[in-house]
């Protein structure tokens, strides 16, 4: 069945160029995890990344590098400019950057919300919300990014525990059980969960699933190795 012109116009590009701005309470890694989660879910591919402060004017390079057939992606629109400080006008940088990208790339994506520059009223509302955030000069509360990511990861498919408890997963289960039970390094279940790779966090969705797969965090396994052999009591 031929694809309609309307459907072709609405199709999102395959390749994306990302930009991150590390902030005190919103790290580059947190932003990267959110961007990659959206790409995984949408079938997109990351072809380049720019991080503010790494190689000079990374914001401008992000704009220049993103081609007309590619999408520009950020975790949150408000993280594009620097936060307000003496001698800077972050709202002007914010507006100018979005205007420049809209004129030169295929689409702009705010990964945390999933809203794109093709979403009409939703996009305009997202841009306005970002502008208000930039104007206020305040960062997100500590832990905000992880909470938002977990909310999306909570939609994990059923049967994850059954899959990990199957015989063909014995080696991987043993590897990550050592991680999960390492109470010396990870004092709490949440700390151990947060230290899983992003893909495993997405798959497990919560500590509850990790408990179902790996069991209780046995103190005899706190070194990360296999449980110590206990001598029988006399």
Q: How far apart are the C-alpha atoms of 166 and 120, rounded to whole Å?
A: 46
Burial label, 131 (beta-carbon count in 10 A; 0-12, 13-18, 19+): middle
Contact between residue 194 and residue 146 where contact means Cβ atoms under 8 Å apart: yes
- C-alpha closest to that of 147 among 194, 179, 104: 194
Q: Mean pLDDT, the chain, as a whole number?
A: 80
| 26-42 pLDDT per residue, tens | 889 999 999 999 999 99
* Sheet with 15-20, edge to edge strand ranges: 45-51, 15-20, 71-74, 107-110, 115-116
Architecture of domain 5-142: 3-Layer(aba) Sandwich (3.40)
Q: How far is CA 125 from the centre of its chain?
A: 22
pLDDT of residue 159: 73
Burial of 14 (0-12, 13-18, 19+ CB in 10 A): middle
Q: What share of the chain is helix, strand, coil (3-state, %, to 5)?
A: 50, 10, 40
Helices and strands (H, E) in the chain, number of each type: 11, 5
pLDDT at 87: 52
- Cα 71 from Cα 101, distance rounded (Å): 9
Question: What percentage of the chain exceeds 70 in pLDDT?
Answer: 76
Q: Does the pLDDT of residue 145 top 80, yes or no?
A: no
- Find which of 50-59, 144-153, 171-180, 206-215 is predicted with most confidence, using mean pLDDT: 171-180
| Residues 116-128 pLDDT 10s | 999 999 999 999 9
Using the structure block, give the residue that is written with the tokens 């309307």.
6
Could you give the 3-state DSSP secondary structure of residue 156? coil
Question: Quick one: pLDDT band at residue 228, thresholds 50, 70, 90?
Answer: very low
CB 16 within 8 A of CB 44: yes
CA atoms within 13 A on the CB side of 123: 10
pLDDT at residue 147, rounded to an integer: 55
**Residue pair 101/8 in contact by the 8 Å Cβ criterion:** no
Look at residue 149 in the predicted model and tell me its pLDDT: 52
For residue 219, the model assigns a pLDDT of: 54
Outline which parts of the chain fall under CATH 3.40.50.1390: 5-142
- Segment 184-189 mean pLDDT: 85
More confident of the two residues 152 and 48: 48
Whole-model pTM over 0.85: no
Which pLDDT belongs to residue 169? 87
Q: How confident is the model at residue 90 (pLDDT cuts 50, 70, 90)?
A: confident
pLDDT at 55: 76
With cut-offs at 50, 70 and 90, classify the pLDDT of residue 82: confident
Question: How confident is the model at residue 74, as a pLDDT?
Answer: 97
Q: Which phi-psi region, left, alpha or beta, contains residue 74 (left: φ > 0; alpha: ψ -120 to 50)?
A: beta
């Amino acid at each position: 069945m031929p694809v309609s012109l309307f459907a072709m116009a609405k199709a999102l590009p395959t390749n994306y160029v990302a930009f991150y701005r590390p902030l005190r309470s919103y790290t580059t890694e947190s932003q990267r995890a959110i961007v990659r989660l959206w790409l995984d879910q949408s079938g997109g591919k990351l072809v380049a990344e720019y991080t503010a402060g790494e190689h000079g004017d990374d914001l401008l390079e992000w704009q220049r590098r993103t081609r007309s057939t590619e999408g520009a992606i950020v975790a949150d629109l408000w993280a594009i400019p620097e936060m307000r400080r003496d001698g800077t006008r972050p709202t002007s940088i914010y507006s100018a950057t979005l205007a420049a990208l809209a004129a030169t790339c295929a689409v702009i994506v705010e990964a945390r919300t999933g809203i794109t520059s093709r979403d009409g009223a939703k996009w305009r509302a997202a841009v306005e919300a970002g502008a208000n955030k930039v104007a206020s000069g305040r960062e997100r509360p500590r832990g905000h990014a992880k909470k938002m990511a977990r909310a999306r990861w909570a939609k994990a498919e059923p049967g994850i525990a059954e899959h990990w408890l199957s015989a063909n997963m014995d080696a991987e289960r043993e590897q990550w059980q050592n991680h999960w039970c390492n109470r010396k390094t990870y004092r709490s279940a949440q700390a151990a969960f947060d230290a899983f790779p992003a893909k495993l966090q997405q798959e497990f969705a919560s500590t509850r699933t990790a408990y179902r797969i790996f069991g209780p965090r046995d103190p005899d396994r706190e070194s990360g190795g296999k449980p110590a052999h206990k001598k029988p009591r006399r």
